[in-house]
């Protein structure tokens, strides 16, 4: 029996590292021969020899194997392959894969992550942030914008246009700023920490919009005409895809265009398109001068070729073209950015208004998906991190300023837990935002990662802002110019819904696309299953058995790393971070194994098993976020005082990953298989726990005092020290309260020794001075702190007429 066990161990060892089929087979034969020589020929040796023969039969490509195994399997799988629409295929094929594919492989090559240069800003980008972006932020009065005007003031609109905020991504040759993706992200993040309305206004022309589409697909003539005007704000763009019957399933839009000839601007027989549409929720629509419109194109008279149903097409249409109704506004949850519906009735446009001209008709969906694959990685993540850093800085300070039961509320264990979560999550979000922007600047277009960070960053920002609201109590709820968090809270659902509503992104897109694009074999296998090539079975045969070898590899890797805690694995990092790299490697193997099992058992029906697919998304997302944290820590030169953040973030992400894998192990079909998989993934039980009390205390403390670590965590947002500004008052009070803290300690000590009466220390200053406990100068510090605290915690009240009028 021990020989049989040794034989199994040998198989596991051989499959742990990719080995050649011949070496693997040679090792098995050697083992079987030694066993037969040392023992008499018995049942166990028969079993071992059968296994060796089976191995050769399965893994050495032979015509018999193709005939008996691969051929029938190929035909069966071909039939079972779910049908895929053109729009689904184009969405799946958008972008590329990067670190996500490494995590999906079960054996991440850390060099891929290590090779990514750290994100950085050029001098010009830095100057823009400290110049025009700082000035713009100082000009913004969120209460005036959201409550009184419900729009940006004209001087802000003009400044945005004049400083070319709408041309961040447009090349200099067209008059744009031509900034990196990281700079783009920093700009949106900073503005969003001041005013969501302004951030959305700047964000839209630079994300999925006409400029991006023109740059990627426009004709030279279109680029020369439009890009300078878009960069300077002379043309204000919007992009119209969504309609009443086409939300998440935008490909189902009924909006249509018919190819025809008509008289246009005095010319007869102009080849063009007659359009009818109804769109809604379109950002910047009410002020747009040019509409990027997506519609389905038909050519019943076959004027363009011999296809009648051409497919989704995108055109750029001046908003004043006859037949267009535009200008009405929606009212998106008290945010004041421009958003509204538009309609087109029998609108005729010449064919060369199609982006990319006649060559690009029918390619609209592909164009949109390709641009979305990158756009989604920048704007909403930047917006989310801006809101999160803002909440950490201001609500963290509020927790230090605000006192209840005679102590700062931040010192209560309950609040500490929430503060630690806010700080730790913000560190994660910033790491993911920065690393992803750096990847984009390095030429990557990772569509699965773009879905992960859109979903995770907006979702986690929701939690951070909710936490902030809980800490703020009534001061977060009563709206007015003094309330800095209420409007941020109100705007949360906007980012959750746009660019792929979150439930759909989590449960359908991340794993749905990941399973095809990031898996080392599935995409090629699907391609061969759809192929009509004569030697498709031969190619499929090789691929299928490499895939089986890959699964075996993940079985042994998962078990080995689970048993040893991956202690013998060589990984990057330092003494503080190495353990997390190892855990990622371990969970990556487990994730890959479970993914293959789910794909094998559920096949195409996995598409509808959204609860399972959502858990896979959670596991993959947490692996990505955790690796981003490690890379971010390293890129920042491993600052020692960031260690609580590093530990909190990694422990939290890995715990969530573990819980997602465990949940999958209860949901996947077939109990015996689940038991076996649990043994392979968690041979010594679960090993990850959420951050403990000591770590929570250390992490929360970062938000309650001045430190380089707090400044790094909240860097890049707009900060001011103005007494007439809500967040300025918080900064002033935080500083004053911290300066007075040592004086307060002296008074409290005296109170404990019964030298002073109990109660609010600031009320005992006079007695404390007369007893020589504090000096007159120190009393001054206490008075200033008290005044600043009172100003910072006060809330607005209105004349009733002001609210009802
Ligand atoms: C403020 C704002 C600005 C916008 N700006 C623009 C713009 O500039 N241009 C533009 O074209 N569009 C824009 N949109 C539209 C936005 O992209 C859509 O709102 C989004 O695609 C969702 O569509 P819907 O609101 O119709 O929701 P629905 O599609 O009706 O979805 C409702 C819910 O069902 C879920 N759901 C749908 N299908 C699935 C599924 N298969 N599995 C699981 N869950 C599913 C969704 O996640 C969502 O939670 C904007 C929307 C808003 C609110």
DSSP codes of every residue in 509-527: IIHHHHHHHTSTTHHHHHH
Rounded-to-integer distance, Cα 63 and Cα 105, Å: 29
Would you say residue 1 has pLDDT above 80? no
Identify the H or E element spanning 385: helix 379-401
Residue 446 has pLDDT above 90, yes or no: yes
Q: Give CA–CA dist 12/680, Å, rounded.
A: 12
Provide the β-strand partners of residue 239.
292
Cβ neighbour number for residue 290 with a 10 Å cutoff: 20
Ligand 1 neighbour 295 (Cβ under 6 A): no
534-551 confidence digits (pLDDT tens): 889 889 998 998 999 899
pLDDT attached to residue 69? 87
Q: What is the pLDDT of residue 805?
A: 62
pLDDT at 466 exceeding the cut of 80: yes
User: Is residue 501 within 6 Å of ligand 1 at its C-beta?
Assistant: yes
Q: How far apart are CA 557 and CA 563, in angstroms?
A: 10
Query: Residue 367: which residues within 8 A CB-CB, separation 6 or more?
Result: 213, 216, 217, 314, 355, 356, 360
Task: Give every CB contact of residue 305 below 8 A, 6+ residues apart in sequence.
Answer: 299
**Residue of 244, 383, 504 with the most ligand 1 atoms within 8 Å of its CB, for mutation:** 504
Predicted confidence (pLDDT) at residue 80 exceeds the cutoff of 90: no
Q: Is 518 left (phi over 0), alpha (psi -120 to 50) or beta?
A: alpha
Euclidean distance between CA atoms 723 and 721, whole angstroms: 6
- Which of 562, 413, 685, 748 lies closest to 12, judged by CA? 562
Burial of 770 by CB count in 10 Å (0-12 exposed, 13-18 middle, 19+ buried)? exposed
> Which 3 state secondary structure label does DSSP give 563?
helix
**303 to each of 259, 269, 310, 358, how far by Cα in Å?**
7, 12, 11, 11
User: Strand (E) positions, 427-554?
Assistant: none
- Any idea of the CA torsion for 150, 154, 155, 158, to the nearest 10 degrees? 120
Q: How far apart are alpha carbons 579 and 688 in whole angstroms? A: 11
> Which ranges of 17-173 would DSSP assign to H, the alpha helix?
21-38, 43-59, 63-65, 71-80, 86-93, 99-105, 110-114, 123-128, 134-139, 142-143, 154-162
For residue 637 the two structure tokens come to: 């030169």
Q: Are strands 324-326 and 403-404 parallel, antiparallel or unpaired?
A: unpaired
Which of the following is catalytic: 181, 499, 525, 744? 499
CA of 281 to the centre of ligand 1 (A): 9
Atom number, ligand 1, closest to the C-alpha of residue 330: 1
Q: Are 378 and 439 in contact (CB under 8 A)?
A: no
Contact assessment for residue 211 and residue 230, using Cβ atoms and an 8 Å cutoff:
yes
Atom number of ligand 1 nearest to Cα 248: 29
Q: What are the residue ranges of helices labelled H in 668-714?
A: 671-681, 693-702, 708-713
Determine the pLDDT at residue 82. Answer: 76
Q: Is the CB of 507 under 6 A from ligand 1?
A: yes
Mean per-residue pLDDT, 237-242: 96
Q: What integer is the mean pLDDT of 116-131?
A: 98
What spacing in Å lies between the alpha carbon of 501 and ligand 1's midpoint?
5
- Higher-confidence residue of 14 and 302: namely 302
Distance from the alpha carbon of residue 247 to the mean position of ligand 1, in angstroms: 5
Q: Is the CB of 497 under 6 A from ligand 1?
A: yes
pLDDT the model gives residue 654: 98
Residue nearest (by alpha carbon) to ligand 1 atom 24: 247
- Residue 52 has a CB neighbour count (10 Å cut-off) of 19
What is the residue-averaged pLDDT of the chain? 94
Q: What is the mean pLDDT of residues 234-241?
A: 96
DSSP 243: B
255: CA distance to ligand 1 center in Å? Answer: 17
Split at pLDDT 50, 70, 90, the class of 214 is very high
Residue 603, C-beta contacts closer than 8 angstroms, at least 6 positions apart: 77, 80, 82
Q: How far apart are CA 294 and CA 364, in angstroms?
A: 7
Judge if the beta carbon of residue 504 lies within 6 A of ligand 1.
yes
Sign of CA dihedral 493, 499, 501, 503: negative
Cα of 455 vs centre of ligand 1, distance in Å, is 13
Which residue among 237, 241, 245, 248 is best mutated to probe the pocket of ligand 1, counting the most ligand atoms within 8 A of its Cβ? 248
Which pLDDT score is estimated for 188? Answer: 97
- pLDDT higher for 71 or 650? 650
In whole angstroms, give the CA distance from residue 81 to residue 528: 11
Dihedral angle, C-alpha 462, 465, 470, 476, nearest 10 ° = -130
Residue 62: per-residue pLDDT = 77
The Cβ-side half-sphere exposure at 716, using a 13 Å CA radius, reads: 28
For residue 119, the 8-state DSSP code is P
260 band by pLDDT with thresholds 50, 70 and 90? very high
Confidence of residue 804 (pLDDT cuts 50, 70, 90): confident
Instruction: Find the mean pLDDT for residues 720-747.
Output: 97
- Copy the structure tokens of residue 169: 């991504």
pTM listed for this prediction: 0.95
The first and second tokens of residue 194, run together, are 């001041």
Q: Which residue lies with its CA nearest to atom 36 of ligand 1?
A: 504
| Residue given tokens 């206490």 in the structure block | 782
Whether 499 is a known active-site residue: answer: yes
- Euclidean distance between the first and final Cα of the chain, in Å? 88
Q: Counting Cβ atoms within 10 Å, is residue 456 exposed (0-12), middle (13-18) or buried (19+)?
A: buried
d(CA 329, ligand 1 centre) in Å: 18
Kindly report the three-state secondary structure assignment for every residue of 588-613. HHHHHHHHHHHHHHHHHHHHCCHHHH
Distance of CA 135 to the CA centre of its chain: 29
> Residue 289's pLDDT band (boundaries 50, 70, 90)?
very high
Q: Tell me what pLDDT residue 286 has.
A: 98
- Euclidean distance between CA atoms 368 and 312, whole angstroms: 10
| pLDDT tens per residue across span 744-757 | 999 999 999 999 99
Beta bridge partners of 408: 403
Lowest-confidence segment of 31-35, 54-58, 117-121, 691-695 by average pLDDT: 54-58
610 CB less than 6 Å from ligand 1? yes
Ramachandran category for residue 144: left, alpha or beta (phi over 0 → left; psi -120 to 50 → alpha) = alpha
Q: What are phi and psi of 183, to 5 degrees?
A: -65, -40
DSSP string for residues in 299-368: -TT-SSSS-SEEEEEEEEEETTSTTEEE------TT--S-EEEEEEEEEEEEGGGBTTGGGGTT-HHHHH
Helix (H, G, I), strand (E, B) or coil at 735: helix
pLDDT at 522: 93
Q: Which tokens sit at 174?
A: 């067209």
Ordered DSSP codes for 408-430: EGGGSHHHHHHHHHHHHHHHHHH
CA–CA separation, 319 and 340 (whole Å): 13
Residues with Cβ within 8 Å of 781's Cβ and at least 6 positions away in sequence, in order, are 736, 739, 740, 743
What would the two tokens of residue 505 be? 């992104």
Tokens (6 digits) for 181: 């993706």
- Evaluate whether 195 touches 142 at the Cβ level (below 8 Å): yes
The owner of tokens 């800490």 is 471
Helices 71-80 and 522-530, interaxial angle, to 10°?
90
pLDDT at residue 52 in the model: 85
Q: Say how many C-beta atoms besides its own lie within 10 A of residue 116's C-beta.
A: 17
* Residues in CB range of 315: below 8 A, 6 or more apart: 257, 273, 275, 292, 293, 295, 349, 353, 354, 355
Residues 6+ apart with CB under 8 A from 366: 90, 93, 94
């Amino acid at each position: 029996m021990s020989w049989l066990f040794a034989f199994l161990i040998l198989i596991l060892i051989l499959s742990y590292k990719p080995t050649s089929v011949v070496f693997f087979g040679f090792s098995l034969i050697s083992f079987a021969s030694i066993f037969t020589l040392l023992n008499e020929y018995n049942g166990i040796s028969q079993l071992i020899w059968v296994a060796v023969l089976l191995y050769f039969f399965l893994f050495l490509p032979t015509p018999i194997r193709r005939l008996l195994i691969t051929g029938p399997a190929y035909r069966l799988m071909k039939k079972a392959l779910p049908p895929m629409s053109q729009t689904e295929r184009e969405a799946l094929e958008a972008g590329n894969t990067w670190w996500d594919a490494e995590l999906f492989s079960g054996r991440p090559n850390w060099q891929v992550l290590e090779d990514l240069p750290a994100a950085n800003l050029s001098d010009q980008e830095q100057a823009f942030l400290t110049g025009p972006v700082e000035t713009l932020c100082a000009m913004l009065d969120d209460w005036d914008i959201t409550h009184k005007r419900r729009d940006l003031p004209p001087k802000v609109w003009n400044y945005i246009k004049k400083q070319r905020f709408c041309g961040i991504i447009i090349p200099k040759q067209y008059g744009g700023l031509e900034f990196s993706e990281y700079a783009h992200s920093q700009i949106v993040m900073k503005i969003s920490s001041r005013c969501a309305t302004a951030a959305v206004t700047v964000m839209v022309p630079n994300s999925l919009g006409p400029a991006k589409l023109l740059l990627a697909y426009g004709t030279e003539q279109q680029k020369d005409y439009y890009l300078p005007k878009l960069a300077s704000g002379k043309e204000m763009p919007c992009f119209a895809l969504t309609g009443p019957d086409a939300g998440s399933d935008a490909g189902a839009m009924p909006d249509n265009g018919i190819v025809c000839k008509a008289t246009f601007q005095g010319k007869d027989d102009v080849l063009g398109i007659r359009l009818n549409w109804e769109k809604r929720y379109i950002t910047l629509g009410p002020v747009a001068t040019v509409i990027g419109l997506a519609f389905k194109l038909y050519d019943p008279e076959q004027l363009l070729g011999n296809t009648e149903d051409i497919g989704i097409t995108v055109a750029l249409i001046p908003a004043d073209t006859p037949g267009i109704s535009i200008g009405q506004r929606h009212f998106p949850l008290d945010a004041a950015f421009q958003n509204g519906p538009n309609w087109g009735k029998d609108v005729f446009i010449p064919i060369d208004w199609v982006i990319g001209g006649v060559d690009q008709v029918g390619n609209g969906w592909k164009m949109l998906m390709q641009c979305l694959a990158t756009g989604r990685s920048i704007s909403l993540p930047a917006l989310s991190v801006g809101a999160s850093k803002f909440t950490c800085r201001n609500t963290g300070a509020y927790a230090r300023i605000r006192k209840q039961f005679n102590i700062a509320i931040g010192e209560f264990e309950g609040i500490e837990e929430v503060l630690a979560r806010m700080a730790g999550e913000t560190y994660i979000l910033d790491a993911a935002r920065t690393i992803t922007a750096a990847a984009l600047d390095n030429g990557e277009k990772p569509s699965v990662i773009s879905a992960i960070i859109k979903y995770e960053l907006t979702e986690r920002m929701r939690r951070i802002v909710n936490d902030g609201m809980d800490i703020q109590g009534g001061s977060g709820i009563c709206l007015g110019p003094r309330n800095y968090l209420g409007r941020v809270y109100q705007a949360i659902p906007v980012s959750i819904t746009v660019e792929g509503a979150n439930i759909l992104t989590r449960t359908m897109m991340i794993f749905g696309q990941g399973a095809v694009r990031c898996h080392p074999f599935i995409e090629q296998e699907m391609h061969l299953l759809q192929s009509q090539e004569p030697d498709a079975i031969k190619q499929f045969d090789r691929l299928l058995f490499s895939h089986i070898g890959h699964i075996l590899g993940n079985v042994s890797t998962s078990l080995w790393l689970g048993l040893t805690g991956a202690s013998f694995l060589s990984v990057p990092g330092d003494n503080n971070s190495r353990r997390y790299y190892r855990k990622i490697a371990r969970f990556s193997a487990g994730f890959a194994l479970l993914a293959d099992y789910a794909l094998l058992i559920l096949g195409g029906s996995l598409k509808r098993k959204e609860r399972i697919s959502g858990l896979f998304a959670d596991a993959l997302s947490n692996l990505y976020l955790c690796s981003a944290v490690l890379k971010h820590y390293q890129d920042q030169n491993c600052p020692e005082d960031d260690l609580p953040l590093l530990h909190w973030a990694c422990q939290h992400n890995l715990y969530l990953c573990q819980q997602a894998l465990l949940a999958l192990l209860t949901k996947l079909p077939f109990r015996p298989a689940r038991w076996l998989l649990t043994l392979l993934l968690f041979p010594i039980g679960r090993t990850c726990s959420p951050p403990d009390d000591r770590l929570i205390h250390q992490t929360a403390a970062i938000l309650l005092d001045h430190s380089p670590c707090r400044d790094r965590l909240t860097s890049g947002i707009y900060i001011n020290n103005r007494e007439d500004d809500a967040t300025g008052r918080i900064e002033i009070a935080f500083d004053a309260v911290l300066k007075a803290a040592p004086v307060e300690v002296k008074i409290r000590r005296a109170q404990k020794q019964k030298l002073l009466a109990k109660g609010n220390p600031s009320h005992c200053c006079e007695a404390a001075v007369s007893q020589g406990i504090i000096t007159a100068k120190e009393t001054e510090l206490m008075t200033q702190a008290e005044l600043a605290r009172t100003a910072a915690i006060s809330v607005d009240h209105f004349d009733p007429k002001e609210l009802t009028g």
